[in-house]
Amino acid sequence: MGNTVGSRAILNLTDRQRAIIIGKILGDGCLEKNGNYTRLKIDQGQKQKNYVFWLYEELSSLVPSKPYKIEVYSRGKRDVHWRFATYSNPAFDSFRLKFYGKRKSVPANINQLLNEPMSLAVWYMDDGYKRTDRSGLYLCTSAFSKKDNHLLQVCLERNFGLSTNIHYAGGYPRIHLPAKYAGKFCQIIKPFVLESLSYKLL
């Protein structure tokens, strides 16, 4: 399983698991301190059920139990969500140190972290969508600062050859992949995108 810190063995992450985790952190994944160590929490709506179970299978060596269904009520509306969390483990502490300060942020060395198509695909399956006119794609990065968005833009250009710009919605930034690069982006991530989420592709 790995080395031991106190009574908790450090989980050994595969390269594929590491790439998935990085994509999840950039997307909707949440890292939280739970006891002495950190865990990754995953929460998606009913439409993403297949995606949640795929994530569970990919990360199953790091997870104590299967995804479970809950009902969430907001403004009188009932929604079904699927959730699971990893073990709390030192293996996740380094991710929290990199991506979390007072809030989730993009580390200065993101170029060394976001360099696999799998990470890009998971990020997009989490937080991406195509424009209604199909002329481009968006990555919802409104949770990140303007500086963080710029770091992500530089990374996408350097590691994947993708030129992007920033559009604002309600005063919050989001990364826009114009038509010229949207097709290339889809070709990069297509081998890793689940069939149930292929509607997000051009």
Distance of CA 57 to the CA centre of its chain: 16
Write down the pLDDT at residue 2: 53
pTM of the entire structure? 0.93
> Which residue, among 50, 66, 63, 55, has the nearest Cα to 29 in the 3D structure?
55
pLDDT at residue 202 above 90? yes
Q: Each residue of 102-125: pLDDT tens digit?
A: 899 999 999 999 999 999 999 999
pLDDT at residue 48 above 90? yes
Domains of the chain: 1-104 (3.10.28.10), 108-202 (3.10.28.10)
- Of residues 2 and 39, more confidently modeled: 39
Cα separation of 152 and 123, whole Å? 12
> Which residue, among 152, 136, 125, 153, has the nearest Cα to 48 in the 3D structure?
125
Q: Each residue of 18-30: pLDDT tens digit?
A: 999 999 999 999 9
- What is the average pLDDT value for the chain, to the nearest integer? 94
